[in-house]
Amino acid sequence: MMTPEQKINELRKELNSHNYKYYVENAPVISDYEFDKMLRELIELEELHPHLKDANSPSMRVGSDLTNAFRSVEHRFPMLSLSNTYSSEELGEWVTKIEQEVEQTEFVCELKFDGTAISLTYENGRLLRAVTRGDGTRGDEVTENVRTIRSVPLVLQGDDYPDYFEIRGEIFMPYSSFDRLNSEREQQGEQLFANPRNAAAGTLKQQQSQVVAKRGLDCTLYQIAGEQLPFSSHSESLDAARRWGFKVSQHTKVCRTRAEIEEFIKYWDTERHSLPFPTDGIVIKVNRFADRRKLGTTAKAPKWAVAYKFKAEQALTKLLKVTYQVGRTGAITPVANLEPVLLAGTTVKRATLHNADQIAALDLREGDMVYVEKGGEIIPKITGVELGERDAASQPLQYITHCPECGAELVRYEGEAKHYCPNQSHCRPQIVGRIIHFIRRKAMNIESLGEETVELLLEHNLIENIADLYDLRAEQLAPLPRLGDKSARNIISSIDSSREVPFHRVLFALGIRFVGETTAKYLAAHFGNMERLMQASHEELLEAEEVGAKIADSIIEYFADEQNRSIIERLVRAGLKFEAEAKVLSSQALEGMNIVISGSFAQHSRDELKAMIEAHGGKNQAAVAANTTYLLAGEKIGPAKLQKANKLGIRIISEQEFLTMIEGAEPLNTEPLATAEAVAEPTPAPEPPKAEPTTPIQGTLF
C-alpha cells in the first residue's frame, strides 16, 4: 500500500510525463479524459494533505485568482538583443566579417519567434523563477503566470542538468489561441489584440495566472546561460535542453557557408506561412562557444549572432469602397473593400481600417491604388496609397456621421479612437449583440438558445431585449421553425437555471460598455449589490479596483438610461441575483474598528484588503473621520487623507502591520470566504539562489 506522499509523487511523475508528450512532443499517449482523471486525483490528494503541496506540481498549471505582484528582478546575465539585417547583402557582409575573424566556423540557423523573451531559472531541476526581458538588465518576475504554460517543464527530466542555470527563449501565442482569444474579445466588445506578439506580452503580464492558463501560450527555448556549462557549442546545448524536457525548435540547421544560410532563409520565407505560430525572421548564430568568445559582444548585442528580418508581404490593389460595421457595443469599424489580390498565400478582399483617424492619416480615397500588408497581423491592413496612380478628380473620403444600421447620429467619446452609435436600444446589431452577449457561457450561460434562435425570436417579435427572455413560455417557442417541444423545453429550463447565476456574472452579462468579466467581479465585490452600484457617484466608482474615469462614465451613463433601469427592474422581478453572496466571518479581530484604506499596496489589492477587514468584523470607511480607528496606508497615499489623520491623531498602520493584526486571529469557522480574494495569502517570495550571483561576464553566457 502506497503512502499518500508516494501516491502524490507517482501521480506527479506520470502527469509530468504525459504533459511532456502532449505539449512538447505533440504525441499524446492517453486521452484527455484519462489525464483529467489523474489530475483530479492528484488535486484531491493534495487538498487532503496540504503539507505536501508543491509550487511545481502539475496541479499548479491551472493558475490562481490571486493578484500577481510582478517584482522587478535583476538578470544575472544581461539579456541582450540582436542586430538586424534586412537584405542578403547586409547578411553577406556579416558572414564575411565573421569568417575573417574565425576560420571554418559553423553557423546555426533558427526561426525567429515573434513573441516576448523570457528567462527561466532552474535550481536542482525545478523551475525557480521566470523573468521577462524588461530593459535587458532588470525584468519582471512572472513565475506564477509562466507555470501555467504547459510546454514549460516544472521539473526536468534526466540527471545531467547543472544545479543552477538559466534558459532563455520566447513565449508566443500560436495562431489558434490568438484567433480564439480575439473572437472572445470581439464578442465581449473588448479591444482586440493587434497581433499574436502583443497578445503574448499582454497575457504574460495578466494579474491573475488562471487567466493566463486559459489563453494557450506556448514557449520555445533557444539559449542556455550559466557558469561552467558542459557544452562546447550551441547545437550541443540545444540537444541537452531537449533531453531535459524543454521545447526546442526542430527547425534549426547547422550551416557552413553563406549559400547554405541563404537557402535556409529562402525556404522559411515562404514555408513559415504554414507554421501554426508567428515568426518574423531567421536568427543566425555562430555555433562554437570558442568562436563566440573570440568575437565578443557590444553593449547591446552579441557580435556572434544576427537576425534576418522577413519583409512584410505587400500587394498593390484598388480600394473599391469603404463600408462600416456596427459592433455589439455600437463601435463603428470602417472596412476597406478591395479588388481581390493574392497576398501571402491567400486572396485578400477586405482590410480593416480601424477608425477615422487612420483613414485621415492615409488620406484614403475610394478608387485609390493602395498597399496592403500582412505583417505580424492576421487581418491585412492598408499601409499606404500609390499617389502616382490617384485619379485627379478623386475626393477625400467623408467619414460617416450617422449609423449605417439605424441612422442615429454617431458620437465619439473622449479618449476613444472609434465612433459609436449611441442608439443602444433600437439599433439592430446592438440589440442582437447584447442578447447574444447576455446568453454567453461566461455570462448567463443560456447557450442552448444560440445565436440563430435569438435571431428567430427577434424576427417573430417574441423578444426585444434581455428581460423579455424571462417571460418566454415553451408553447411560444415550440411552433417556431427548427425548434419543437424538446428544444423549447430545454431553452426554458436553461433560462430558468440562469436565475442562479451569481451577481458578478449578471453584471457582466448586462453588457455595460467597458465592463468586462474582471471589472464586473471587482464591482460586485466592492459594492455588494446592484442598488449600491446604481447609486454610486463617479468618485465612489473610482474607488473600486481597476475602475478608471472611462469605466465610471460608462456605468453612470448606462444607469442614467431609463430603458436600462426598467430592464433591470424586470430582471429583479424575474428573480436574477443582484446581490453578492454573503461573506463568512473568519474572526472578530477587528470588531468595532473603522479602517480607512489609502494608497497602493505591495501584497494585496485594495478590494482584497477591504474584504479582509470585513471578514474579520471591521468596517471599511471611505473617508477619515473622528471615529476612524486606523488609516491603513500604502504607497502614494492621498496627502489630504494623511493630513486629516495626523490632525485627528489617528494611528497610521502599514499593510504588514495590518496583516499581522489578523494573522493570529482566532478563526470563527473553517469555511472559506465567499470571495477567494478575501483569503489570499501573500505570494511567497521565491527563494534567492543559493550560489552568490557573480558579476556577469560575457564568457558565462555559453
Q: Could you list the residues that contact ligand IVH (CB under 6 A)?
A: 80-82, 110, 112-113, 117, 133, 170, 222-223, 283, 302, 305, 307
Sequence-distant (≥ 6) Cβ neighbours of residue 297 within 8 angstroms: 80, 303, 304, 698
Taking the least distance from each CB to ligand IVH, the nearer of 133 and 258 is 133
Query: Is residue 72 left, alpha or beta, with left meaning phi > 0 and alpha meaning psi from -120 to 50?
Result: beta
**C-beta neighbour count of 382 within 10 angstroms:** 22
Shortest approach of ligand IVH to residue 695 CB, angstroms? Answer: 18
The residue assigned the cell 473610482 is 542
Shortest approach of ligand IVH to residue 414 CB, angstroms? Answer: 36
Q: What angle do CA 289, 271, 383 make, to 5 degrees?
A: 100
Give the Å distances, CA to CA, from 266 to 88, 249, 263, 285, 327: 10, 18, 5, 17, 41
**Is the Cβ–Cβ distance between 374 and 343 less than 8 Å?**
yes
**Separation CA 167–CA 169 (nearest Å):** 7
Q: Is 171 exposed, middle or buried (0-12, 13-18, 19+ CB in 10 A)?
A: buried
Core vs surface per residue 291-305: b (16+ CB within 10 A) or e: bbbebebeeebbbbb
Taking the least distance from each CB to ligand IVH, the nearer of 112 and 381 is 112
> Which amino acid, 531?
E
**Separation CA 413–CA 557 (nearest Å):** 12
Shortest approach of ligand IVH to residue 370 CB, angstroms? Answer: 30
Which of 68, 90, 81 lies closest to 148 in space, CA to CA?
A: 68
**Separation CA 520–CA 555 (nearest Å):** 11
**Is the Cβ–Cβ distance between 410 and 421 less than 8 Å?**
yes
**Is the Cβ–Cβ distance between 291 and 297 less than 8 Å?**
no
Taking the least distance from each CB to ligand IVH, the nearer of 283 and 435 is 283
Cell numbers at 483, concatenated: 425548434
Taking the least distance from each CB to ligand IVH, the nearer of 110 and 166 is 110
Helix, strand, or coil here: 123? strand
Shortest approach of ligand IVH to residue 73 CB, angstroms? Answer: 17
Q: Would you state the torsion angle of the CA atoms of residues 211, 216, 220, 224, taken in this order, to the nearest 10 degrees? A: 20
**Separation CA 612–CA 586 (nearest Å):** 9
Catalytic residues: 112
Taking the least distance from each CB to ligand IVH, the nearer of 167 and 645 is 167
Shortest approach of ligand IVH to residue 167 CB, angstroms? Answer: 12
Shortest approach of ligand IVH to residue 198 CB, angstroms? Answer: 14
Taking the least distance from each CB to ligand IVH, the nearer of 222 and 658 is 222
Q: What is the DSSP string of 196-259?
A: HHHHHHHHHT-S-HHHHHHS--EEEEEEEE-SS-S-SBHHHHHHHHHHTT----S--EEE-SHH
Shortest approach of ligand IVH to residue 259 CB, angstroms? Answer: 21
**Separation CA 21–CA 111 (nearest Å):** 23
Shortest approach of ligand IVH to residue 115 CB, angstroms? Answer: 7
Give the Å distances, CA to CA, from 526 to 209, 511, 677: 22, 19, 12
Shortest approach of ligand IVH to residue 185 CB, angstroms? Answer: 25
Taking the least distance from each CB to ligand IVH, the nearer of 288 and 610 is 288
> Which amino acid, 311?
K
Which of 353, 355, 362, 360 lies closest to 384 in space, CA to CA?
A: 362
Q: What residue number has its CB nearest to ligand IVH?
A: 117
Which of 573, 434, 445, 449 lies closest to 500 in space, CA to CA?
A: 445
**Is the Cβ–Cβ distance between 526 and 610 less than 8 Å?**
yes
Shortest approach of ligand IVH to residue 82 CB, angstroms? Answer: 4
